[in-house]
């Protein structure tokens, strides 16, 4: 309380004017903004990258214009596995990125007979490829080379994939698609 009984007013002590509270609040806000931007940049550069899917080759798992996060760090700790949805540089034009599903890993023998995929001479069950998206295309038996992966799109009749450009080298793969965030009805972990 002031000596006159009214509320206390902070004084800056130098010129008799009340102390400004705007400068410290602005400094704290700017500091928090810079820290948030630095953390966001670190996450986007080294861990997770937001990506917009362009095209229909991964339908129904991923729709055209869907927004997803790609984990760019996961393959430093764990191997690329069959069934993973990965983002990679297109082998024929590395300035472009593609997103496909891993069907075969190094050493696997892949063949496709009238749309049925065989890995190491065993037919695989692909519940992510609905009958309306399947095709009758065949592909001769091939063994996936070392440090390479055989990729297919889920929308087989609309996909440019390893049937066209061959296995993808490991160093072209830069992330695993892990989480959809837009549109909201597709929010969740990718499978």
- Identify the three-state secondary structure at position 133: helix
Is 72 catalytic? The answer is: no
Task: Identify the residue with better confidence: 59 or 42.
Answer: 59
pLDDT, mean over the chain: 88
Asked whether the predicted pLDDT for residue 91 surpasses 90, the reply is yes
Q: What is the pLDDT of residue 40?
A: 77
- Identify the three-state secondary structure at position 75: helix
* pTM attached to this predicted model: 0.78
Is 169 catalytic? The answer is: no
Give the range among 21-25, 61-65, 120-124 with minimum mean pLDDT. Answer: 21-25
Cα Rg for the chain, rounded, in angstroms?
27
Dig out the tokens for 76 from the structure.
């430093």
Asked whether the predicted pLDDT for residue 2 surpasses 50, the reply is no
Q: What is the pLDDT of residue 11?
A: 47
Q: What is the pLDDT of residue 129?
A: 95
Closest CA to 156 of 119, 177, 130, 176: 130
**Active-site residue, from 20, 40, 52, 57:** 57
Q: What is the pLDDT of residue 1?
A: 47
Specify the DSSP class assigned to residue 20: P
Per-residue pLDDT reduced to its tens digit, 121-170: 999 999 999 999 999 999 999 999 999 999 999 999 999 999 999 999 99
**Active-site residue, from 100, 159, 162, 176:** 100
Neighbour-count burial of 168, counting CB atoms closer than 10 A to its CB (0-12 exposed, 13-18 middle, 19+ buried): buried
Mean pLDDT of 50-59: 94
Q: Which structural domains are found in the chain, ordered by start? A: 49-189 (2.10.109.10)
CB of 168 closer than 8 Å to CB of 151: yes
């Amino acid at each position: 309380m002031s000596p006159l009984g009214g509320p206390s007013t902070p004084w800056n002590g130098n010129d008799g004017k009340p102390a400004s509270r705007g400068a410290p609040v602005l400094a704290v806000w700017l500091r928090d903004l810079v820290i948030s931007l630095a953390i966001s940049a670190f996450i986007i550069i080294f861990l997770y990258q937001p990506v917009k899917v362009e095209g229909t080759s991964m339908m129904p798992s991923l729709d055209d214009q869907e927004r997803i996060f790609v984990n760019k760090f996961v393959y430093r700790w764990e191997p690329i596995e069959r069934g993973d949805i990965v983002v990679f540089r297109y082998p024929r034009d590395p300035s472009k990125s593609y997103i496909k599903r891993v069907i075969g890993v190094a050493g696997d023998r892949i063949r496709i007979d009238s749309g049925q995929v065989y890995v190491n001479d065993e037919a695989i069950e692909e519940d992510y490829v609905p009958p309306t998206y399947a095709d009758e295309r065949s592909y001769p038996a091939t063994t996936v080379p070392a440090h390479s992966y055989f990729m297919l799109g889920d929308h087989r009749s609309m996909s440019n994939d390893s049937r066209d450009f061959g296995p993808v080298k490991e160093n072209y793969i830069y992330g695993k698609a892990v989480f959809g965030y837009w549109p909201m009805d597709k929010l969740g972990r990718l499978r």
